[in-house]
Chains A and B, each alone.
Chain A
Amino acid sequence: MSNLEFPLPDIGEGVHEGEIVQWLIPEGGAVAEDDPVVEIMTDKATVEIPSPGTGVIAKHLFGAGEVANVGDVIFIISSDGAVADSPSSAPEVAEEEKPVSAPVVVEKTAPADLPAVTRREDGKVLAAPATRRLARELGVDLTTIRGSGPNGRIRPEDVRTQQSAPPAVPTTPTAPTAPAAVVPTFAATSGAHEEERTPFRGIRRKTAEAMSRSKFTAPHFSLIEEVDCTDLVDIRNRAKVASEKYGIKVTYMPYIMKAAAIALMEYPQLNAMLDEEAQEVVVKKYVNLGIAVDTPNGLMVPVVKDVHLKGLLQISAELAEVAGRAREGKAKAEDFQGSTFTISNAGNIGGILATPIINFPEVAIMGVHSMRKMPRCIGDDIVARQIMNLSISIDHRLVDGADGARFMVRMRELLEDPALMLL
């Protein structure tokens, strides 16, 4: 099988990265030379990239929404069509996490009669003219420095660091001249102080941008409510058994989602957004719940739509489906769109309360925390109860504290006496 790797070109003048907007040909799809393969957005323009050859798209190395650097291989074309004809032969390509090498690397063969000089493996020392001058002035040999800049470029700081680095001579402790207080001697430990640098991009960067926008735009206030879930535990255990015959596993989350949908229809100011451009408050008359999911790729928020119209079984099934797709990295764009309110469930990992950051431009996000058996007073008796905390962060521009508190009280009522959800 012959593969053609396609590195992201500089599609503007001096562009150094591009975001994958969408793949126009899926993995396994056939392409002819010049067919549009992918839409790329740079800070200058959004353009379609045509196929450089004919064959089958063997692999996308970046997902939609991810940012690739110019020079990163973004897709691989298999020229003999083996992937499409027999998918079983695909894995040898598909399992490849990273391309081995980009085809753009120009072979450079130095002629034999060149003077032997010290240089790095790739034969290049990357440094700006100003850095080179600094190195000359300080008497530092650039070929001995590891650059900390992009692509290993040597920066002026690297030259200065190299120059001021003390000579590597073992220090011999000198004996104290006068007997003083007894100083405890510590075993000589030397931490390696290792650091790792990874590019700030993809989902990490998208998350960072979304969080900053939310936190710096919406003034957050948070409040916490305690919920006695003893009855809910009982009901859910029975539901779990009853739902098995449908092949659906009912967890606590669908109950919390159902309660949230009811409470949001009653307190719709929490199910809203601020249209800043139009200077209008948009109150949603339907409930689409974003559920924050911890995936191997980071935080994702798949959406279950029209929760206010659906029963527990359906909510359970749809939640399992979208969350599963998000975890496996197979989610579609619409799986993440249209939420009106978000629930974050970090409770199964740990923590008893939180101040979550709103999934902007929504106005509130609710955190669900771990359920624990705790001693509580029922009348004058101390009894063991199943206690869970709910936390909520709310955009104070649109919602006042009292409304937030009313919403949370309603959540508590519904979850402490789930029969109320039937009304």
Chain B
Amino acid sequence: MSDLLQIIDREGNKVGTVPRVKKEVFLNMYRAMVRTRAFDDRCMKLQRTGKVGFSVPNRGIEAVSVGAAAALDISKDWVAPHYRDFGIMLYHGVSPERMMDTMFGNEADSAVGRQMPVHFSFRKPLNFLSISSPLGTQVPQAVGIAMAMKTRGEDGAVLTTFGDGSTSASGFHSGMNWAGVFNSPTVFLCQNNQWAISCPSEQQTKSSSYAIKGEAYGVPGVRVDGNDVLAMYRAVSQAVKRARAGDGPTLIEAVTFRMGGHSTSDDPTKYVDPELVTYWEQRDPIVRFSAFLHAEGILNEAADATLREEAKDEMLTAARAAEAKPVPVLTSVFEDVFEETPAHLKKQSAFCVDHYSSRGEGVNEKGEFPL
């Protein structure tokens, strides 16, 4: 893997130039990675006990999302994400409880229960577009936002993430093409976790890599060790810098491995060779970064253990808080599109309440969704 950008190897040894940032940044990255795994673990348990309907395993890809997140300036950069991006939100201070609100689809959920679990959307503290399940639709959207920034003369960049499977979707090609032609300040981050649900990379593309696909659109491509958070940080930082400088888009391929199913509805043991899982477990991004931080004297055993325990407790507490909140009110279905609800929607809202009330469902203004 010589064409791969790597800064720390699987044992945590330095093999490249370590980014010159404050120790706190390293610690924030590490904490976000540990918290991402803890959030993921908690969501899996919530789903298996029937408390939430669905989740998307994030195990193994923590360095990709956290490394990329750390390279952004959220006062001006936007994110057009895909569904394996817990780390971006957690790094930038979205509280686990707000994320859990979306997992449960409760009344505090930013999407008011109208999205599937995991399909987060936030305006604060960062502009994080609503995750959409269809593959690659966020790519041209990201290019559009970036073009708007460019037209307005702002120096923001837009990070869009997607999996290896999305490179076969039309959105990837139209987005990449536009970005190449019009030099949009976009960072394309392909999370190559080896699997598009159960479809392996060798059945996904005949290209020698995903990064090389950029050449077709005149967009430079970079391959990065996606389990090396510092390499991810370096690659995305450089891409963001290029975007801000008006040098246009970059395609980054983060080579990583999904250490779980595609989603809670998937059984990876049916198609993933267990030896492959062992191979990647030895390249665990958290273990590797932890070893680096210990060697650098930034983190010690005790602090590491405390941090992991705290992350577990934090996610459990967040889940309990979100679980305790009621589901959204029935009438919320008619809100949020218009600033002032028009007459025909008011009429429909009244009919709806009346109809479900008469059947003992949905009940009243503070009632439940008739699901």
A and B found bound together? yes
- Flag whether A12 is at the interface (Cβ < 8 A): yes
Q: Mark B41-54, 1 if CB is under 8 A from A, else 0.
A: 00001011111011
Contact residues in A for B266 (Cβ distance below 8 Å): 44-45
Partner of A115, one of B261, B269, B358, B364: B358
A125 to B267, CA, bound (A): 36
Output the least CB separation between B274 and chain A (Å).
Answer: 14
- Flag whether B360 is at the interface (Cβ < 8 A): yes
User: With contacts defined as CB atoms under 8 Å apart, how many contacts are there between chain A and chain B in the complex?
Assistant: 73
- Flag whether A106 is at the interface (Cβ < 8 A): yes
Interface residues on B, range: 20 to 34
Contact residues in B for A110 (Cβ distance below 8 Å): 357, 360, 363
Chain B minimum-CB-distance residue to A70? B50
Contact between B363 and A47, CB atoms less than 8 A apart: no
Output the least CB separation between B272 and chain A (Å).
Answer: 13
Contact residues in B for A106 (Cβ distance below 8 Å): 368
Chain A minimum-CB-distance residue to B44? A50
Q: Mark B338-366, 1 if CB is under 8 A from A, else 0.
A: 00000000000000000001111101100
Chain B residues 242-257 with CB under 8 Å of chain A are: none
Contact residues in A for B269 (Cβ distance below 8 Å): 46
Chain A residues 114-145 with CB under 8 Å of chain B are: 114-115, 117, 119, 123-125
A106 to B361, CA, bound (A): 11
Partner of B49, one of A12, A13, A49: A49
Given A7-B50, A10-B53, CB of A45 within 8 Å of CB of B359: no
Contact residues in B for A119 (Cβ distance below 8 Å): 359-360
- Flag whether A11 is at the interface (Cβ < 8 A): yes
Contact residues in B for A10 (Cβ distance below 8 Å): 50, 53
Contact residues in A for B357 (Cβ distance below 8 Å): 110-111, 114-115
Given A44-B265, A44-B266, A124-B360, CB of A13 within 8 Å of CB of B54: yes
Contact between B360 and A50, CB atoms less than 8 A apart: no
Chain A residues 248-281 with CB under 8 Å of chain B are: none
A110 to B361, CA, bound (A): 8
- Flag whether A9 is at the interface (Cβ < 8 A): yes
Contact between A49 and B265, CB atoms less than 8 A apart: no
- Flag whether A29 is at the interface (Cβ < 8 A): no
Contact residues in A for B49 (Cβ distance below 8 Å): 6, 9, 49-50, 52
Contact between B358 and A114, CB atoms less than 8 A apart: yes
- Flag whether B264 is at the interface (Cβ < 8 A): yes
Partner of B47, one of A7, A11, A46, A109: A11
A6 to B48, CA, bound (A): 11
Contact between A11 and B48, CB atoms less than 8 A apart: yes
Partner of B360, one of A11, A104, A123: A123
A110 to B368, CA, bound (A): 11
Contact between A12 and B48, CB atoms less than 8 A apart: no
A7 to B357, CA, bound (A): 28
Chain B minimum-CB-distance residue to A44? B265
Contact between B361 and A124, CB atoms less than 8 A apart: yes
Interface secondary structure of A, over-half rule: loop
Given A108-B361, A111-B363, A124-B361, CB of A34 within 8 Å of CB of B45: yes
Contact residues in B for A34 (Cβ distance below 8 Å): 45
Contact residues in B for A117 (Cβ distance below 8 Å): 358-360
- Flag whether A413 is at the interface (Cβ < 8 A): no
Chain B minimum-CB-distance residue to A115? B358
Chain A minimum-CB-distance residue to B366? A111
Contact between A123 and B265, CB atoms less than 8 A apart: no
Chain A minimum-CB-distance residue to B362? A108
A45 to B198, CA, bound (A): 13
Contact residues in A for B358 (Cβ distance below 8 Å): 114-115, 117
- Flag whether A48 is at the interface (Cβ < 8 A): yes
Contact between B261 and A108, CB atoms less than 8 A apart: no
A50 to B43, CA, bound (A): 12
Output the least CB separation between B356 and chain A (Å).
Answer: 10
Contact residues in B for A109 (Cβ distance below 8 Å): 363
Contact between A12 and B45, CB atoms less than 8 A apart: no
Output the least CB separation between A244 and chain B (Å).
Answer: 53
Contact between A45 and B48, CB atoms less than 8 A apart: no
The list of the 10 closest CB pairs from A to B, nearest first, reads A9-B50, A45-B267, A123-B360, A12-B265, A52-B49, A13-B265, A50-B45, A110-B360, A49-B48, A117-B358
Q: Which residues of B contact A (CB under 8 A)?
A: 45, 47-51, 53-54, 261, 264-267, 269-270, 357-361, 363-364, 368
Give 21 CB contacts A-B under 8 Å. Answer: A8-B50, A9-B48, A9-B50, A11-B265, A12-B264, A15-B265, A34-B45, A44-B267, A45-B261, A46-B267, A47-B48, A49-B49, A104-B50, A111-B357, A111-B364, A114-B360, A115-B357, A117-B360, A119-B359, A123-B361, A124-B360
Task: List 20 additional contacts besides A109-B363, A119-B360; criterion CB under 8 Å.
Answer: A7-B50, A11-B264, A13-B53, A15-B265, A34-B45, A44-B265, A45-B261, A45-B265, A45-B266, A47-B267, A49-B49, A50-B45, A50-B48, A52-B49, A108-B360, A108-B368, A111-B363, A114-B358, A123-B359, A124-B359
